[in-house]
Homo-oligomer: A and B are copies of this chain.
Amino acid sequence: MPKLTNRRWCVAELPDDRLDVSHFSLRTVARPKPDDGQVLCRVLWISIDAAGRAWLQADTYRRALQAGDTMPAFAIGQVVESNSEELAVGDIVTGDLGWQEYAAIAPSGLERIVPVRPLSNYLSVLGITGLTAYFGLREVGEARSGETVVVSAAAGATGSVVGQIARRDGCRVVGICGSDEKGAWLTDEMGFDAAVNHRDPDFRKALRAACPDGVHVYFDNVAGATLETVLGAMAPGGRIVCCGVVSQYDTGTPDAGPRGVPGLLILKSLSMRGFLLPTFAARYADGLDTLADWLDDGSIKPVEDVLEGLERAPEGLVGLLNGSNLGKRMVHVADPV
């Protein structure tokens, strides 16, 4: 029997500059009632994503958040009441359930999954994160065996999967990360060929040394100064996959664009291509099948960074923006029944 209250994190105040936990407030409200055609979901696992910071900044592919809004988030839930024939009590679903314990929502906003692995895997390798890495590297970047692939935020959710797929596909893999500890983990545990710390004063030299043939594919999760540095190390004909701009989210004063655009793009015949995952929606099932096979054969490992309890969601996001996570960060709220 579900509780009759619902705890939810709301936006208390929009950040002007760096995000802090004080920008959110935890409210206890009445448990929502599903309308006709809706279901009530209990939230089990919440995905913590840097994009959440972008939603607090400006209109993106969704409208900018306002003070008072429930913080949205991709999550896994379980149907506990159903006013729809499409979903039954007990079903496990994914969708934008938000930072809260319960969400009333129409089935059109949900995807039913039949989990055969730990639920957390469906937020990491077998979810948006894994699909973003898979389609971004293979379809947008067209990385080929023998090429050098560089990925930024390499110890993060998407980056750690990108690197593992690239290694599996026969590429030389170089990770850019924000600490020497993460770098050691990438090479020792994740099978990266090299790692470079962007905070190293010799970052530029270290990157070039790690990529003696130049960079054929750069999977960019961060933008900013790191992108500018990698641009200078690209090999002729190289491809830059524009996936995220993490360095630009948590600030009131985004950088100008990287120098070298478009001059270096011309001189080195480079391409930059941005993408949003839904472009590949028709092929998600194929991607997930492949990723599941690779989990089975051990060629990729899920790397999950779990915080326990809904109350930790804000610190989870603030920390993520500061690089405190290793792999896919998520909040465990409840277990299915």
Contact = CB atoms under 8 A, between A and B. Distances in A.
A279 interface: yes
A60 interface: yes
Interface size range on A against B:
35 or more
A4 interface: no
A263 to B, nearest CB: 5
Given A256-B259, A259-B257, A274 B279 contact: no
Nearest to A240: B262
Given A256-B256, A257-B256, A267-B61, A245 B274 contact: no
Nearest to A273: B271
Residue from the set A258, A266, A279 with the largest chain B CB neighbour count within 10 Å: A266
A234 to B, nearest CB: 10
A30 interface: no
A262 to B, nearest CB: 4
B263 A245 contact: yes
A265 B273 contact: yes
A332 to B, nearest CB: 29
27 contacts: A60-B267, A61-B267, A220-B262, A223-B263, A228-B257, A242-B266, A243-B266, A245-B266, A254-B259, A256-B257, A256-B259, A257-B258, A257-B259, A257-B261, A258-B261, A262-B272, A262-B274, A265-B272, A267-B276, A268-B274, A269-B274, A269-B276, A270-B273, A271-B272, A271-B273, A271-B274, A272-B273
